[in-house]
Amino acid sequence: MEIHKAEFVSSFTAENQCPKTGWPEFAFIGRSNVGKSSLINLLTGRKGLAKVSATPGKTQLINFFNINDRWYLVDLPGYGYAKVSKSRQRQLAGMIEGYLAKRQQLALAFVLIDANVPPKQADLDFINNMGEWQVPFALVFTKTDRHKKGVHQADNIAAFLEALSQTWEPLPPHFLSSSVTGAGRAEILDYIAQVLRSLPT
Ligand SMILES: Nc1nc2c(ncn2[C@@H]2O[C@H](COP(=O)(O)OP(=O)(O)OP(=O)(O)O)[C@@H](O)[C@H]2O)c(=O)[nH]1
Ligand SMILES: [Mg+2]
């Protein structure tokens, strides 16, 4: 998959404002700070395309990126960011849920999970909602370049997949990524190309 065009389109606060071109969309979702915006920059090869910040809660709107004038990457706000007010959290959750549950053009959502932390109930709960909303998804375990003492990424990933297998059969595809080393870029882009080919024309 070659990306010859990657351009910010606009930001939206609700599903019904989003573009009506009908192009397929690939959305990125996960807890605040997990690396959604960074992964979009890695995939497109454009470092400053999606705004990245060390402070969780950077992305607060539904951001659309035009890829090759054929499809969109969609950067979503993170869920579970405790430092914003409860009412703002509810507002953001409503925005994310409204987009995911209603969006007909959504071809696939990538759910990002930090490979450096043991399974979190909030992630498992969120993924179980994806079933209710009938959104096809794949998992991306992020920040695999990090090597902190006492952190066993392979164990975290295995434990996450094991926990998910209690409710999901078969398990969704999963990828390992690092926006620092570029790991996972080719595999994720290949998968996007595969999904695009499988869509009805
Ligand atoms: N080491 C490492 N750091 C990463 C990686 N991906 C993202 N980061 C860092 O993690 C922080 C958050 O990255 P973002 O891409 O802004 O995360 P996000 O999920 O979009 O966050 P919100 O928009 O706040 O929900 C930044 O400091 C990034 O530099 C990675 O693969 N490896
Ligand atoms: Mg972001």
Give, for all 201 residues of the chain, the pLDDT tens digit. Answer: 899 999 999 999 999 999 999 999 999 999 999 999 999 999 999 999 999 998 888 888 999 999 999 999 999 999 887 678 888 888 999 999 999 999 999 999 999 999 999 999 999 999 999 999 999 999 999 999 998 999 999 999 999 999 999 999 999 999 999 999 999 999 999 999 999 999 987
On whether the CB atoms of residues 171 and 130 are closer than 8 A, the answer is no
Distance CA 41, CA 37 (A): 6
- For residue 67, being part of any structural domain is answered with yes
- For residue 31, being part of any structural domain is answered with yes
The crossing angle, in degrees rounded to 10, of helices 36-44 and 185-198 is 80
Domain range for residue 147?
A: 6-198
> pTM of the full predicted structure?
0.97
Distance CA 29, CA 112 (A): 6
Pocket of ligand 1, beta carbon within 6 A:
30, 32-38, 52-54, 56-59, 77-78, 142-143, 145-146, 178-180
Distance CA 55, CA 37 (A): 12
- For residue 87, being part of any structural domain is answered with yes
Looking at residue 56, its pLDDT comes to 85
Pick from 118, 117, 125, 116: which is nearest to 29 by CA? 125
Domain count within the chain:
1
Looking at residue 59, its pLDDT comes to 84
Of all protein residues, whose CA lies closest to atom 27 belonging to ligand 1? 54
- What DSSP element (H or E) covers 89? helix 86-102
Distance CA 59, CA 24 (A): 21
Pairing of strands 71-75, 62-67: antiparallel
- For residue 17, being part of any structural domain is answered with yes
- For residue 1, being part of any structural domain is answered with no
Residues surrounding ion ligand 2 at CB below 5 Å: 36-37, 58-59
- For residue 27, being part of any structural domain is answered with yes
Looking at residue 45, its pLDDT comes to 96
CATH of the domain at 37: 3.40.50.300
